């Protein structure tokens, strides 16, 4: 039953711009950064990583993911507030859970496309130096993981209060992420701000690549790595908490609606 709900959700979200955002935003980001680095004669892997991932991380985990979640939730809000789906013999939590998983798949596909396009652009543009495979892989997967709790939060907000709430949260992330994740202002507080986590991971990994040639065993980077490991663990707990809370909330809300309509 859940697999059927998952397949239905995947097909349904193909009717929204969410899938096009997944496919086109990484291409647009890479084209823009590739053009800029080419005309400014700054083509090396250090700049490719810093400019491409810097621009992407400043915009996508907060703004792009929030917009995707808002569009996906709005599709069901337009269908008489989920009533077209809830008449089927499927638990409400399964329907919302299927939506979460499809959104997570979009995020993983998006990250994979960006990573592949980045490598292909580097090869085609004859970027100097060896391809930083380890940094690209860790940064892509780490960003996807760090963004998952926010993605669930956006979807929950959009389901509860509409598109505007999710987009509003995304706007908060667009402000707090770069401000606290990429500047000295967030030095002591970024670990408590999920929007700042992807940018801090990016800063650490690019520093390891540019200053220590990708050597993760360098003693001076160990404190930063240990802090990132702690954030990974915190992300897993936060993701579990937000998913369970949102599913329980949705189940209770729909059960209450059934009682009121009976």
DSSP letters for the chain: -HHHHHHHHHHHHTTSTHHHHHHHHHHHHHHHHHHHHHHTT--BHHHHHHHHHHHHHHHIIIIIHHHHHHHHHHHHHHTTTTHHHHTSSS-HHHHHHHHHHHHHHHHHHHHHHHHHHHHHHHHHTT-BS---HHHHHHHHHHHHHHHHHHHHHHHHHHHHH-HHHHHHHHHHHHHHHHHHHSSGGGTTTGGG-GGGHHHHHHHHHHHHHHHHTT-TT-GGGHHHHHHHHHHHHHHHHHHHHHHHHHHHHHHHHHHHHHHHH-
Per domain, the residue ranges of the chain are 2-261
pLDDT in tens, 137-155: 888 888 899 999 999 999 9
Residue 249 pLDDT > 60, yes or no?
A: yes
pLDDT surpasses 70 at 197: yes
For the stretch 58-113, pLDDT in tens is 889 899 999 988 888 887 766 555 555 555 556 777 878 888 999 999 999 999 99
pLDDT value of position 152: 94
Predicted confidence (pLDDT) per residue in 6-63, tens digit: 777 777 777 778 778 888 888 888 888 888 888 887 788 888 888 888 889 888 989 9
pLDDT confidence of residue 6:
76
pLDDT score of 139: 86
Q: Is the pLDDT of residue 213 over 70?
A: no
Work out the mean pLDDT of the chain and round it to a whole number: 83
């Amino acid at each position: 039953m859940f697999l059927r709900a998952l397949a239905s959700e995947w097909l349904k979200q193909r009717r929204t711009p969410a899938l096009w955002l997944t496919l086109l935003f990484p291409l647009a980001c890479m084209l823009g950064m590739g053009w800029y680095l080419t005309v400014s004669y700054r083509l090396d892997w250090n700049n490719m990583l810093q400019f491409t991932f810097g621009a992407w991380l400043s915009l996508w985990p907060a703004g792009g993911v929030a917009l995707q979640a808002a569009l996906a939730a709005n599709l069901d809000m337009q269908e008489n507030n989920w009533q077209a789906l809830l008449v089927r013999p499927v638990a409400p939590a399964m329907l919302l859970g299927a939506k979460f998983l499809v959104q997570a798949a979009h995020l993983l596909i998006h990250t994979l496309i960006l990573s592949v396009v980045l490598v292909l652009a580097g090869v085609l543009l004859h970027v100097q130096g060896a391809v930083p495979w380890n940094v690209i892989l860790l940064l892509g997967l780490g960003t996807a993981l760090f963004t998952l709790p926010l993605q669930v939060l956006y979807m929950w907000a959009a389901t509860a209060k509409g598109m505007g709430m999710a987009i509003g949260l995304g706007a908060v992330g667009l402000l707090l992420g770069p401000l606290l994740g990429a500047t000295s202002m967030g030095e002591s507080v970024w670990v408590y701000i999920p929007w700042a986590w992807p940018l801090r991971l990016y800063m650490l990994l690019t520093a390891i690549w540019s200053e220590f040639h990708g050597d993760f065993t360098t003693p001076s980077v160990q404190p930063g790595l240990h802090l990132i490991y702690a954030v990974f663990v915190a992300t897993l707990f936060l993701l579990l908490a937000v998913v369970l809370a949102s599913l329980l909330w949705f189940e209770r809300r729909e059960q209450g609606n059934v009682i009121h309509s009976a």
